[in-house]
Amino acid sequence: MGPTNENHLSWDLALLYAGLDDPRWAADLERARERGKSFHHDFRGRARSENLSAELLAAALRSYEALQKTGLKPYLYAQLLFAGDSSPDAHKALLARAREAWSALAEETLFFELELLAIDEERMAVLLRDPEVAPYAHYLQQLRVHAPYTLSEEVEQALKRKDLSGKEAFVQLFEELTSSLTFTFRLPAEEAPREMTGEELLALLYHPDAEVREGAFSTFLKLYADNALVLTSCFNNLLLDHAKEVELRRYPDLMTPTHLANETDAAMVERLMEVTESNYGLAREYFDLKRRLLKLPLMKNTDLYAPLGTESRYYPFAEARETVLAAFRGFSPQMAKTAEAFFSERRLDVLPRPGKSGGAFCQGMLPGLPPYVLLNYTGTLRDVATLAHELGHGVHFALSQGQNLFHYQAPLPFAETASVFGEMLLTRYLLDREVDRQAKIALLCSKLEDIIATTFRQNVLTRFELAAHRRRAEGLLAPDHLCALWWEENGKLFGNAVEMIEPYRWGWSYISHFIHARFYCYSYVFGELLVLALYQKYKEEGSGFVPKYLELLSRGGSRKPADLLAPLGIDLADPNFWQKGYDFVGGLLRELRELVEGEGEMSERS
């Protein structure tokens, strides 16, 4: 590979601006500022007025969209430049300038959404029927979804101020305490114990030695147990704070605020969780197969992520690209063509380098501006999957380019649909072509472990969180109460297939989702299962499914999830739909079991 080749692996931002000194960059920011000023001048106070016409509202919405697009382009450019290389001062300065301009613009136009919130329900219903306003309907409805539970401005302000020393103080305390913890642990290859961070200890759950895995996780959990007083206090207060908030705002249920944000509803989510629980047996079946692969007499919960000892090979990037594109092509040539454009237009930054941002992402940009992808490709199978994941996002954004800015991004529960679907296409493609039995087993195990972590485990977390909230309503929780609730919910999943190590009683105490957001975890179950069920539908319907799926992606976030899925004949309230996702998991398990048992025969014969 010569330097020219290397060069083609970095992205080309000239599609946006010629470079750092392109005068169009500053000119765009200035234009956005002017548009913000005239928007303020033209519309301030007018949405609130009694005689707001549909014509005026439509004009305001269009200007609001246009000025945001004008301001976003230079901002996104500065972000990409910085992500590609954060070291030059000029990149930092450009990003800071864009950020300041954007926040000034947001301040100038903040009144608009507040005024939209204040329009009463009946009036809004009339306005939404207007053909000029209707294209913005979903945005307006979603913006106003919390309105019935919003208190007077004075009360809202007071609550916000008191949150600083209330809810936010406990979040802060949790963060400060847990990030200050250092652990002492001795690795078998080393003479003396050494200090480690929590992250480093948890990474040892992937260590080949069972004793190291158990020792590391026990060390981790024991230090959390030592801090039970503070951790339990954080949980108790955040649980109580949420109960008070639900009471003050008169939400019908503890989970309502989350459902509103996710555009889901209580009945649908309850169905989803029940179907998940009725399939816990699939997880136990997997754990047992894994136990056999690891040749362990007994599976502990510290063995769940134990490596199988099959090293994955190196994938040159050219091969990764061809593999992912071929997997996409097998599903839909249009999908492959859309993904190919990332390479031909150089909207992909591939290799790690100093100063470049870590991880991987797809920056969706805006309607009218094609998306970009950043990777840190090192040639592992995981990296190939990441390419499929980010290109899945990329295809989603490319297909929804016809939506307005507010409907461009997929709604929250759909945020990972196209990406995980892309990974699924890749897994299937690889499984169908892989001839090495060990490699096939490794592929299936890693897919199944991903699925178990995002469905069954997140369901356990949600059930625990619900139980803790309910139990808190009866009074202050002691650490033992939380431990018992956690043990009980996990026991339902693991059954007799997995023995939980004793310190795992404290497993609840380090999960920051419980601290940062209420009931966040079921969104993972929803998102993952949606993809699995869609994939199962594809298996059943074949090519007839493809145009419907692409149409779904092209609708971006223009409707509620349930409405987006209706044209595919999917009813989210129907438990049979969710069961499809687990039928697909059952299929993967059967495939794995045949390989594992076939292997047994092989070794007996040889």
Decide if 521 contacts 386 (C-beta within 8 A).
no
| CA atoms in the 13 A half-sphere facing the CB of 69 | 15
Nearer to Zn ion, 218 or 419 (CB): 419
C-beta of 526: minimal distance to Zn ion in Å?
15
Separation between Cα atoms, residue 449 and residue 439, nearest integer Å: 15
Go through 364-378 and write b for each residue having 16 or more CB atoms within 10 A of its CB, e for each that does not: bbbbebbbbbbbbbe
Nearer to Zn ion, 91 or 396 (CB): 396
Nearest to 151 by CA among 250, 237, 69, 5: 250
C-beta of 311: minimal distance to Zn ion in Å?
26
Nearer to Zn ion, 460 or 531 (CB): 531
C-beta of 523: minimal distance to Zn ion in Å?
13
The site that binds Zn ion (CB under 5 A) totals a number of residues, namely 1
C-beta of 361: minimal distance to Zn ion in Å?
8
Contact segment (CB under 5 A) with Zn ion among 183-191, 199-207, 271-279, 412-420 equals 412-420
Instruction: Answer yes or no whether residue 523 interacts with Zn ion by CB under 5 A.
Output: no
Spell out, one character per residue from 369 to 408, where the chain touches Zn ion: x when CB under 5 A holds, - when not. Answer: ----------------------------------------
Contact segment (CB under 5 A) with Zn ion among 92-100, 130-138, 154-162, 416-424 equals 416-424
Question: Which residues ranging from 22 to 61 are in contact with Zn ion (CB under 5 A)?
Answer: none
Instruction: Answer yes or no whether residue 419 interacts with Zn ion by CB under 5 A.
Output: yes
Separation between Cα atoms, residue 69 and residue 31, nearest integer Å: 11
Decide if 225 contacts 503 (C-beta within 8 A).
yes
* Cα 257 to chain centroid, rounded: 18
Nearer to Zn ion, 111 or 361 (CB): 361
Among positive and negative, which fits the CA dihedral 497, 503, 234, 471? positive
Nearer to Zn ion, 36 or 364 (CB): 364
Among positive and negative, which fits the CA dihedral 475, 480, 468, 161? positive
Nearer to Zn ion, 276 or 419 (CB): 419
**Beta pairing, strands 183-185 & 194-196:** antiparallel
C-beta of 349: minimal distance to Zn ion in Å?
16
Structure tokens at 269: 């989510």
Separation between Cα atoms, residue 487 and residue 507, nearest integer Å: 9
- Phi and psi at residue 185, in whole multiples of 5°? -150, 140
C-beta of 392: minimal distance to Zn ion in Å?
8
Question: Which residues ranging from 146 to 205 are in contact with Zn ion (CB under 5 A)?
Answer: none
C-beta of 268: minimal distance to Zn ion in Å?
23
Distances (CA, A) of 554 to 367, 398, 550, 557, 558: 12, 8, 6, 9, 9
Contact segment (CB under 5 A) with Zn ion among 216-224, 364-372, 419-427, 475-483 equals 419-427
Nearer to Zn ion, 400 or 419 (CB): 419
C-beta of 552: minimal distance to Zn ion in Å?
17
Nearer to Zn ion, 301 or 419 (CB): 419
Nearest to 335 by CA among 190, 192, 545, 110: 545
Instruction: Answer yes or no whether residue 558 interacts with Zn ion by CB under 5 A.
Output: no
Contact segment (CB under 5 A) with Zn ion among 126-134, 378-386, 417-425, 520-528 equals 417-425
Structure tokens at 22: 């392109």
Contact segment (CB under 5 A) with Zn ion among 58-66, 411-419, 423-431, 558-566 equals 411-419
Question: Which residues ranging from 288 to 317 are in contact with Zn ion (CB under 5 A)?
Answer: none
Nearer to Zn ion, 423 or 489 (CB): 423
C-beta of 328: minimal distance to Zn ion in Å?
16
Nearer to Zn ion, 218 or 455 (CB): 455
Give Cβ neighbours of residue 549 (< 8 Å, ≥ 6 apart): 332, 421, 534, 538, 568
Separation between Cα atoms, residue 361 and residue 397, nearest integer Å: 13
C-beta of 520: minimal distance to Zn ion in Å?
16
Question: Which residues ranging from 83 to 102 are in contact with Zn ion (CB under 5 A)?
Answer: none
Strands across the sheet containing 372-374: 348-349, 372-374, 361-363
Residue at token pair 């993972």: 524
Q: What angle do CA 469, 149, 140 make, to 5 degrees?
A: 120
Give Cβ neighbours of residue 286 (< 8 Å, ≥ 6 apart): 448, 452, 589, 592
Q: What angle do CA 392, 394, 397 make, to 5 degrees?
A: 115
Contact segment (CB under 5 A) with Zn ion among 114-122, 210-218, 339-347, 413-421 equals 413-421
Nearest residue to Zn ion, by Cβ distance, number only: 419
Nearer to Zn ion, 293 or 531 (CB): 531
C-beta of 89: minimal distance to Zn ion in Å?
31
Residue at token pair 């096939």: 440
C-beta of 416: minimal distance to Zn ion in Å?
5
Nearer to Zn ion, 3 or 359 (CB): 359
Nearer to Zn ion, 256 or 419 (CB): 419
Contact segment (CB under 5 A) with Zn ion among 154-162, 312-320, 415-423, 470-478 equals 415-423
Nearer to Zn ion, 258 or 419 (CB): 419
Nearest to 572 by CA among 276, 278, 265, 277: 265
Contact segment (CB under 5 A) with Zn ion among 162-170, 414-422, 568-576, 584-592 equals 414-422
Separation between Cα atoms, residue 117 and residue 139, nearest integer Å: 12
Structure tokens at 601: 């025969």
C-beta of 410: minimal distance to Zn ion in Å?
11
C-beta of 184: minimal distance to Zn ion in Å?
36
Provide the binding-site residues for Zn ion, judged by CB under 5 A. 419
